[in-house]
Structure 1
Amino acid sequence: MSERSSTARRRGLAERLWYGYARLVVALRWFVIVGWAAAAAAAMILLPPLGTTADDLEALGADDASFAAEQRSVELFGFPLLSRVAMVQHDPAGMTTLAQAEAVLRGIAVNQDAYDTALLGAIPIPNAGGAFPGALEEDTAVVTFLFAEPTASFFEQTDVAKQFAEDQLTDAEDAYVGVTGSMPARAAQGRVVNAYVPVVELTTLLAVLTVVALTFRSLAAPAVTLVSVGAAVGVTMGVAGSVADALDFSVPADLRPLIVALLLGVVTDYCIFYLSGLRARLAEGHHRLEAARLATASFTPIVTVAGLTVAAGTASLVVAGSALFSGFGPGLAVTVLTGVVVAITLVPAILAVLGPRAFWPSDIRRALEREAGRQRSSALTSTVTHRASAVVVAALCIAGLGLAASQVRHMDLGLGFVQSLPAESEVARAAEAAGEGFAPGIVSPTELLVEGDGVGEDEEAVSRLGEALQAQPGVAGVLGPGDSAAADDLGVLVAESGDAVRYLVVLDTTPLEATAIDNLRGLRENLPDLTAEAGLDGVTTSLAGDTALADGIVKDTTDDLLRISVAALAVNLLMLVIFLRALVAPLYLLASSVLALGATLGITVMVFQGVLGHDDLTFYVPFAAAVLLLSLGSDYNIFAVGRVWQLARDRSLRDAMLAGVPQSTRAITAAGLALASSFGLLALVPLRPFRELGFVLAVGILIDVFVVRALLVPSLLTIVGTVSSWPSRQLRRRAPSADAAAEPWDADPGRESGRPRRAAPGGP
């Protein structure tokens, strides 16, 4: 038996199986539609919603050593030095001596349980003359660190602090600005996200429906998409919630809009593919039911494999050590899988019911004739299918993408919770005021814990260490033993045993951002020399605080890069190899996606860190975007190259490209615009991470669609030629029938046995 006849037999069996599936879905169309409507309603009513958690630094996967240092500090002193909630008073014209004194006495009273409040303690720090070394102003501000029940959520802790401030700081002389810190910032982020999720969902839905309407010049096609997306969202939120409960994972609340955007985008993409196939079949003269069967048989394998590729790629995040990524991956995978199931069942069923009415009021035949005319006269298609010009196009694409990708080396990562908020936010205003009165790092200071026998009794050595810390790069001020009478009276800087001291180190840059993290790393490296030079031999040091935790998160995220990259690339490569039954093409297809990803991240760095002057990118944005863009790039690879592979069964590779590239490019362009709109509208959320995510994902999709899929991949396919299908010989066959060349959307099982295709008898 020849290889060709064996391959043809396997192909014929696969096509008959898919056609059988299509017949089943079309036959049960009303049951499918009613079933999905019932399933969506039941899921929203009976199943738990997708669990979200507005994770604090610890839940995001922060450095265990920093938390251990905080816990050790509390054990030694019986009282924490660090708080993530700060009450800010600031008057640039100057605060009265009485107002500053009242702030200090108020803190002491809180520690003595003199107020009816849930607060457990307070540490007031004024910038009165000499009270805080390194303060930028004098007698203008008081920052009071507040301590609430640590087991309470940061929403609850923030509310307790705000209520206390509103009850106590009622006079104009108090110069109350607001409550700030990492916990209030996270609470504010959560409230912003909750407020904008409906806006983003509605706007995104309108945008993708507009893309569908313009693509098909139809009002009915967007309605089909709307019904499909509605069912997918209704079912997914419930199914994902049940899976999350079963697997014990949760999705950060900050990223819920991304899951919704992904779901809207992929379901819309698959609707566009099915609608394109149905329109072509109807234009060929098939009855609506047979047209639905043929379109379903042709596109279901492509949609299924593409969806599985995206799901598997996003699920690869589970290999991450970071709690954020390992929980986020399964949530994305469940979302995509549910969307795929809806797409391959509900969409064909709806199209079988509507038939040509799915494109109302558009004239199908005229629309296809216009497209065919554009395809025949497409200079671009001719360019990328001619070897000499394809080499030039590929070289230009690679050079341009490579130049943009080179900017990735300048990428810095940080957290910047406060800085992500709108400038008018109370948390942001209070942080700015505190920074003006002291230094930017005051809202999240760093604690240095020094332990050693009798270290607290060597006042001169302890003082020398404080002076040395003050002189370190990036340090604005240090509050240590002997620097504050109020702090010394409270016993918060020298342990009662005398075997430990601690310093409050305030950085001169915004905490949690890249510059502060770099400065803290330098301080950590210098500590052994600093303690030795101060005369503190045999002591141990440890750093705690939000900047130290952010350092741990960024380090863990960077360490995850290798694991996530290997897993994502392996999964996407495997899916391409299985679908194309080749080794060569998947390699350069995946390499093209990686190059496009690098260019996207490079452009993002140039815009946000260069043009906009941001200190860094939010730590999770590049990695979440990388997994999504790689997976979605493979999704489009499967659709675009898969069409060429199908057409090359009956014609030469160049003929297959001339027939398939324009049509697949048009569908991919429409799908890409819908997906880019879906992701890009995340920027409506007035938080910096969402603007970064919206930008990087939208730009990445557009580069993928208009550069990689339209130019680079066809050019590479032309250059590499039939070797692309190695080790199979799929692209080496020739079948020069004119009929085959005229049927670019052919997937009719009847043609395999040589039977002429005919329109099936109609009838519901």
Structure 2
Amino acid sequence: MRNTPRWARWLVPLVLLVVWLGVGGTLGPYAGKLGEVATNDQAAFLPQDAESTQVLEAREAFDQGETVPAIVVWTAGGDRVTEAQQAEATKSLASLAGRPGVVGQPSPAFVSEDGEAMQAVVQLKPDLGEELPTVLGEVDEAAGAVAGTEAAIAGPAASQADLSDAFAGIDGLLLSVALAAVLLILLLVYRSVLLPFVIILGAVFALGLACAVVYALADRDVVRVDGQVQGILSILVIGAATDYALLLAARFKEELAVRGDRAAAALAAVRRSFGAITASAATVALGLLALLASDLTNNRALGPVGAIGIVCAVLSTLTFLPAVLALLGRAAYWPAKPKPSDATAEGHGVWRRVAAVVDRSPRKVWVSTALVLTAFAAFSPALSSKGVPLDEIFVNDAPSVAAQQTLGEHFPGGSGNPAVIIADAARAEQVTAAAEGTEGVASAAAVSASGRPGGGEPLVVDGRVRIDATLEAAADSDAAKDTVERLREQVHAVPDAGAIVGGYTAQQYDTQQTASRDRTIIVPVVLAIILLILVMLLRSLLVPVLLVATVGLNFLATLGVSALVFEHLLGFSGTDASVPLYGFVFLVALGVDYNIFLMSRVREETLAHGTRLGVLRGLTTTGGVITSAGVVLAATFAALMVIPLAFLVQIAFIVAFGVLLDTLVVRSLLVPALVVDIGPKAWWPSALARESRTRAAGKTPAEV
């Protein structure tokens, strides 16, 4: 490198810097444009081959133009609804007919059995987008004109509006919170002015590039993006880019202290950290791509989108960051001044003491930490993943949730969200009778030409009819899902009816069943991918198996703690069916990152100093940077909590807590203690497993 012309040593970093500045300036705005190609239509993310999906496709023929219902519910403050109020409600909603966004004639208002409430349905266009709040405002205004009553809007249209509101401003808010958290942590940990901003800038450039690629693919319907995927992409890229940057920056600091030449130090830092960074990125990217095996469309959507983000994070780390460090040199760490002693300076302080504890009693350390993790893991079966009730989907109070609760207090629990049965028209009466005779079904009737169940001859389309079955239990309850299971058994038993059952509850049931199936397929695939990458990186079998086992134990321990926190502190009765799988993919893949950072350095040190001393030197040298990376990643995922959705709050907690547990306990104590206790045999079957015992035991941690 020293023989390279001076101009060439400056030209390459300058060209790379100019290229990335161009990427940032040109593609950066796409980080705020993903919402233009995102969809929050949950029907688009159902299981592909599930019965409820077949019903969703079949019922389109019965809908006179696709619509989204807004269910208006009135209460009379504990009094009984009068006939005059019922007539006024019907008349008031009828005035909405013909207005922009409203489809057809709103249904007449009808009174509940207890006489204290009434409801009506207004069908809206499904593609209103930003106009939806305005249209719902007009519905609310018309409903509010009924004297002596309070009106509220429930149903899919209201839920869709609340969901859009939850994701409103996601680009700016989430990005600001995440970047502010990362910047604060970096400034506190590294006490450097320039380095944190350089790392943040690299992460932002990576995010801009990733969003531009995803935008182009989503615009061409190659991938799907919803608000959840959009939020996770931002957090994933920022967290991963920062983690990889911290590893490379720490290595550059070591090399700069030894070599003195900034260009040579940058090249050496890239060369020596390349394997660990690319292996770590590969575990995450391939783990995410394993989601393509899922039958849930939103899981499959996250796979390639997340993998694109990881690739962009690695690209930025290995090109932009070295270029800037080569140009800045020691100034990147100002006001600190890297000195030759800095090559091992990170071994001093707390990590020397941790290494001393591991070295003194390795078996006691790993057994005690494993027992604690196992105790936490014992609570993992308590984490229910049967779905989140409607009243828990939003962390904060949402108008649609309150309206749905009011609806459920006065009408059958499944009112407004019936089970939808599609059957042969010749068997309509038998299927209806079978549905009405099912335990848990309040009523069932064929849909007439008016679009409402009952009140006329059934509407026949292509020889089939649609039958709506109102459930007694709330549509999001376990009891309703059990009813759907019984309902399917009953209507399937009707000869030659070809009956299939769908609707909201059936969709939730099918999603839950599919998510369970996905876990049994994807979890082994992800573990196999991680194990293969570790074997190739560390060139052994035993150490990779131990690492996979420890991150698996960490995941179960995290689920156990999450089960306690969700139920007793946060008040969640369950999690979305996809939460355990998302948590597994993120936590296991990202958790392996820190073990890769540690064990790749341990192997490097073992080649020169033997297993025992290699572990201690690797732990002390990488302790500070890996812990910082873990804290940064935990903080970035914790930023997801600013979005008031239970799904993202749960994912944020699982990943943030799990990463901290992995960084502070598994990587710092359990793994090093295990390898020290096993000794050189841990590297079996590589040549390192046959190293001399004399070579492996020469120095104490104080001599590292």
TM-score, length basis structure 1: 0.81
Partners of 1:46 and 1:257 lie apart in 2 by: 14
SS at match of 2:295: coil
What is the 5 A alignment of 1:425-574? 425-448=398-421, 453=426, 456=429, 466=436, 468-469=437-438, 472-473=439-440, 477-478=442-443, 480=445, 490-491=455-456, 502-509=467-474, 511-512=475-476, 514=478, 516-525=480-489, 541-574=499-532
Distance 1:523 1:226, change over 3 A: same
SS at match of 1:673: helix
Aligned residue for 2:365? Answer: 393
CA RMSD of superposed structures (Å): 3.9
Partners of 1:738 and 1:356 lie apart in 2 by: 35
Aligned residue for 2:160? Answer: 186
Aligned residue for 1:702? Answer: 660
What is the Cα deviation at residue 394 of structure 1? 2.2
What do the CA deviations read for 1:426-458 (whole angstroms, capped 9, x no partner)? 2223222222322543342323566574764x9
Contact 1:26/1:293 (8 A) holds in 2: no
Partners of 2:147 and 2:231 lie apart in 1 by: 42
Distance 1:454 1:40, change over 3 A: closer
Aligned residue for 1:752? Answer: none
Partners of 2:601 and 2:400 lie apart in 1 by: 53
Contact 2:13/2:326 (8 A) holds in 1: yes
Aligned residue for 1:602? Answer: 560
Q: Is 1:714 aligned to residue 677 of structure 2?
A: no
Distance 1:537 1:197, change over 3 A: same
Q: What are structure 2's unaligned runs of at least 5 residues?
A: none
Aligned residue for 2:17? Answer: 33
Partners of 1:599 and 1:24 lie apart in 2 by: 52
Contact 2:530/2:589 (8 A) holds in 1: yes
What is the 5 A alignment of 1:65-80? 65-69=51-55
Contact 2:257/2:342 (8 A) holds in 1: no
What is the Cα deviation at residue 648 of structure 1? 0.8
What do the CA deviations read for 1:83-138 (whole angstroms, capped 9, x no partner)? 6432222233333321223434667888xx67776313544463344xxxxxxxx2
Distance 1:395 1:145, change over 3 A: farther
Contact 2:412/2:470 (8 A) holds in 1: no
SS at match of 1:505: strand
SS at match of 2:118: strand
Deviating more after overlay: 309-318 vs 603-612? 603-612
Contact 2:418/2:468 (8 A) holds in 1: no
Aligned residue for 1:119? Answer: 103
Partners of 1:274 and 1:555 lie apart in 2 by: 43
Distance 1:276 1:24, change over 3 A: farther
Distance 1:407 1:45, change over 3 A: closer
Deviating more after overlay: 497-506 vs 235-244? 497-506
Aligned residue for 1:642? Answer: 600
- Which among 67, 79, 99 is matched to residue 85 of structure 2? 99
Aligned residue for 1:756? Answer: none
Q: Is 1:652 aligned to residue 624 of structure 2?
A: no
Give 2:418's aligned amino acid. P
- Which among 75, 78, 88 is matched to residue 73 of structure 2? 88
What is the Cα deviation at residue 196 of structure 1? 3.7
Give 1:399's aligned amino acid. L
Distance 1:175 1:490, change over 3 A: same
- Which among 263, 267, 279 is matched to residue 253 of structure 2? 279
Aligned residue for 1:12? Answer: none
SS at match of 1:413: coil
Report how many aligned residue pairs link the two structures: 692
Aligned residue for 1:230? Answer: 204
What is the Cα deviation at residue 208 of structure 1? 0.8
Partners of 1:158 and 1:316 lie apart in 2 by: 36
What do the CA deviations read for 1:570-594 (whole angstroms, capped 9, x no partner)? 2211111111111111111111111
Of all paired residues, the percent bearing the same amino acid is 23
Aligned residue for 1:142? Answer: 118
Q: Is 1:727 aligned to residue 685 of structure 2?
A: yes
Distance 1:516 1:36, change over 3 A: same
SS at match of 1:89: strand
Give 1:491's aligned amino acid. G
SS at match of 1:218: coil
Give 1:325's aligned amino acid. N
Contact 2:242/2:632 (8 A) holds in 1: yes
- Which among 534, 541, 566 is matched to residue 576 of structure 1? 534
SS at match of 1:373: coil
Q: Is 1:590 aligned to residue 548 of structure 2?
A: yes
Contact 2:112/2:411 (8 A) holds in 1: no
SS at match of 1:508: coil
What do the CA deviations read for 1:366-418 (whole angstroms, capped 9, x no partner)? 9778744316851x3133235xx322322233332233223332322315456
Contact 1:672/1:702 (8 A) holds in 2: yes
What is the Cα deviation at residue 324 of structure 1? 1.0
Q: Is 1:403 aligned to residue 388 of structure 2?
A: no
SS at match of 1:490: coil
Distance 1:52 1:576, change over 3 A: farther
Partners of 2:464 and 2:273 lie apart in 1 by: 72
Deviating more after overlay: 686-695 vs 35-44? 35-44
What is the Cα deviation at residue 249 of structure 1? 0.9
What is the Cα deviation at residue 686 of structure 1? 1.4
Contact 1:269/1:675 (8 A) holds in 2: yes
Contact 2:481/2:506 (8 A) holds in 1: yes
Aligned residue for 2:324? Answer: 350
What do the CA deviations read for 1:739-758 (whole angstroms, capped 9, x no partner)? 999998xxxxxxxxxxxxxx
SS at match of 1:28: helix
What is the Cα deviation at residue 58 of structure 1? 2.7
Aligned residue for 1:202? Answer: 176
Contact 2:359/2:673 (8 A) holds in 1: yes
Q: Is 1:621 aligned to residue 579 of structure 2?
A: yes
Q: What are structure 1's unaligned runs of at least 5 residues?
A: 1-15, 130-137, 745-764
Partners of 2:269 and 2:464 lie apart in 1 by: 77
